[in-house]
């Protein structure tokens, strides 16, 4: 039996590459596995040889100790791979297929899945609707920052690439289909981005950059990206965005007015989430600052897309309310301006085929937008450290050294 090295969360601030068990078509007990999921048979699943798997900002929340993730949790929910084994209930996916795996696990059978709400599948997580690989409180499905991984409900979930050679040529773009490209796109769609719209994107991390690129694809006239990190803002400018450094210029409305001649935008996207920090000279965490600022600068009747992560439990929060996900949000302002808020995980399957076609046709250049950077599995701990320091890179792990031009 082949070995299976994987990236494992050990304690706050640390991950290690460890040899874990080779995947089977059953969910075994292990760190973070919900007891009600132990022993769950997955004859509807496949085993993948992982081609690429990405480090996500959501992973960083766990690694920083900002969730209740247990030691030993295998990380990774952004997975692209080659099918090497199929369960006896799998009909359409075949050995040798190269596929993208949606980060949210969905059965295809429940009411939510049938309504395209695959982000809140009712059958994969005994705790609550919605699940993901390698993530705290998501049912315990083993993560994919590894050499091999099991994926359930293969016929329903997997996006097969039409041509393997073409896919490998564009793998740095296609690897983004498992999460951040659909997530950024969902943020833009949820915000109502349309032809000619002016858009503010809070956060210039990979999801923010994906949202900004998505807004451009949807026809926005001006996309303004705000952040506290100059390197990440430079990356946003590299593909045509306007930028605002909120460390140097804390008044967001004034900065937007300098760009647009009016102090508001048509719509806004929060790609920061609960670990937001204060603007200007403040070094303090301010978990509601992004939500409040985007309400301030979005016109009356506008929409707010909120793909940024907010959690129900944050043991590292600065105050007791925030430890339980309770934030000081100016809901009255949003009510007075008749804003529409769209939150929650992204239903990846609603978008991933269309985004795949945009990549294969050359219309979408998502790898360039997020500065995709290949590393080996052994380099993953260093990648986590660099990403946490604020470098403007989207780290793509190549476990089997299969990606050309590394």
Instruction: Write the secondary structure of the chain as one string of H (helix), E (strand) and C (coil).
Output: CCCCEEEEEEECCEEEEEECCCCCCEECCCCCCCHHHCCEECCCCEEEEEEEEECCHHHHHHHCCCCCCCCCEECCCCEEEEEEEECCCCCCCCCCCEEEECCECCCCCCHHHHCCCHHHCCCCCCCCCCCECCCCCCCCCCCCCECEEEECCHHHHCEECCCHHHHHHCHHHHHHHHCHHHHHHHHHHHCCCCCCCEEEEECCCHHHHHHHHHHHHCCCCEEEEEECCHHHHHHHHCCCCEEEECCCCCCHHHHHHHHHCCCCEEEEEECCCCCCECCCCCCCECCCHHHHHHHHHEEEEEEEEECCCCCCCCCCCCCHHHHCCCCCCCHHHHHHCCCEEEECCCCHHHCHHHHHHHHHCCCCCHHHHHCEEEECCCCHHHHHHHHHCCCCCEEEECCCCCCCCC
240 and 329 co-located in one domain: yes
The pLDDT value given to residue 405? 62
The pLDDT value given to residue 319? 82
139 and 229 co-located in one domain: no
In a domain, 403, yes or no: no
204 and 276 co-located in one domain: yes
173 and 131 co-located in one domain: yes
333 and 380 co-located in one domain: no
Distance between CA atoms of residues 292 and 288, nearest Å? 6
CB count, 10 Å around CB of 160?
Answer: 17
In a domain, 406, yes or no: no
Domain limit, last residue, from 343, 371, 386:
343
75 and 206 co-located in one domain: no
In a domain, 404, yes or no: no
146 and 10 co-located in one domain: yes
Domain limit, last residue, from 343, 359, 376:
343
Enclosing domain of residue 72 = 5-179+349-397
- Total domains in the fold of the chain: 2
In a domain, 164, yes or no: yes
In a domain, 124, yes or no: yes
Spell out the per-residue pLDDT of the chain, length 406, in tens: 578 999 999 999 999 999 999 999 999 999 999 999 999 999 999 999 999 999 999 999 999 999 999 999 999 999 999 999 999 999 999 999 999 999 999 999 999 999 999 999 999 999 999 999 999 999 999 999 999 999 999 999 999 999 999 999 999 999 999 999 999 999 999 999 999 999 999 999 999 999 999 999 999 999 999 999 999 999 999 999 999 999 999 999 999 999 999 999 999 999 999 999 999 988 888 999 999 999 999 999 999 999 999 988 888 887 888 888 899 999 999 999 999 999 999 999 999 999 999 999 999 999 999 999 999 999 999 999 999 999 999 999 999 999 976 5
102 and 214 co-located in one domain: no
- Residues 1, 22 contacting (CB under 8 angstroms): yes
The pLDDT value given to residue 315? 86
Distance between CA atoms of residues 370 and 393, nearest Å? 6
The CATH number assigned to the domain holding 109 equals 3.90.180.10
236 and 106 co-located in one domain: no
In a domain, 405, yes or no: no
169 and 201 co-located in one domain: no
185 and 86 co-located in one domain: no
Domain limit, last residue, from 343, 368, 384:
343
The owner of tokens 């983004």 is 176
pLDDT digits (tens, 9 = 90+) for 127-175: 999 999 999 999 999 999 999 999 999 999 999 999 999 999 999 999 9
- Residues 269, 204 contacting (CB under 8 angstroms): no
168 exposed, middle or buried (CB, 10 Å; 0-12, 13-18, 19+)?
middle
In a domain, 270, yes or no: yes
Distance between CA atoms of residues 128 and 122, nearest Å? 7
64 and 101 co-located in one domain: yes
The pLDDT value given to residue 324? 86
The CATH number assigned to the domain holding 269 equals 3.40.50.720
In a domain, 333, yes or no: yes
């Amino acid at each position: 039996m082949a070995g299976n090295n994987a990236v494992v969360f050990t304690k706050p601030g640390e991950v290690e590459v460890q040899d874990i068990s080779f995947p089977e078509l059953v969910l075994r007990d292990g760190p973070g596995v919900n007891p009600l999921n132990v022993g769950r048979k997955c004859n509807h699943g496949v085993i993948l040889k992982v081609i690429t798997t990405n480090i996500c900002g959501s992973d960083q929340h766990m690694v920083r100790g900002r969730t209740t993730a247990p030691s030993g949790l295998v990380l990774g929910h952004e997975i692209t791979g080659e099918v090497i084994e199929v369960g006896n209930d799998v009909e359409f996916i075949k050995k040798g297929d190269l596929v993208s795996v949606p980060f949210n696990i969905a059965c295809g059978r429940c009411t939510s899945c049938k309504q395209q709400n695959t982000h809140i599948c009712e059958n994969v997580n005994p705790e609550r609707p919605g699940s993901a690989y390698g993530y705290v409180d998501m049912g315990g499905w083993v993560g994919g920052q590894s050499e091999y991984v099991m994926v359930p409900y293969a016929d329903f979930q997997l996006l097969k690439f039409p041509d393997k050679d073409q896919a490998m040529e564009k793998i740095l773009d296609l690897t983004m289909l498992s999460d951040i490209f659909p997530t950024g796109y969902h943020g833009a769609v949820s915000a109502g981005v349309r032809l000619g719209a002016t858009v503010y994107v809070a956060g210039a991390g990979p999801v923010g950059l994906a949202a900004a690129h998505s807004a451009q694809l949807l026809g926005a006239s001006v996309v303004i990206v705000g952040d506290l990190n100059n390197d990440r803002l430079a990356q946003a400018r590299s593909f045509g965005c306007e930028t605002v450094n909120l460390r140097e210029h804390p008044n967001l409305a004034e900065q937007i007015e300098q760009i647009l001649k009016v102090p508001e935008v048509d719509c806004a996207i929060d790609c920061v989430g609960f670990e937001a920090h204060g603007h200007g000279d403040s070094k303090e965490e301010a978990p509601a600052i992004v939500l409040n600022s985007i309400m301030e600068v979005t016109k009356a009747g506008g929409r707010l897309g909120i793909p940024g992560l907010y959690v129900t439990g944050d043991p590292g929060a600065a105050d007791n309310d925030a430890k339980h996900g309770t934030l000081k949000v100016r809901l009255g302002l949003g009510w007075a301006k008749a804003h529409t808020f769209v939150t929650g995980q992204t239903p990846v399957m609603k978008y991933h085929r269309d985004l795949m076609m945009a990549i294969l046709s050359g219309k979408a250049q998502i790898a360039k937008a997020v500065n995709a950077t290949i590393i080996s599995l052994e380099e993953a701990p260093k990648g986590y450290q660099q990403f946490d320091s604020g470098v403007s890179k989207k780290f793509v792990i190549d476990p089997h050294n299969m990606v050309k031009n590394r």
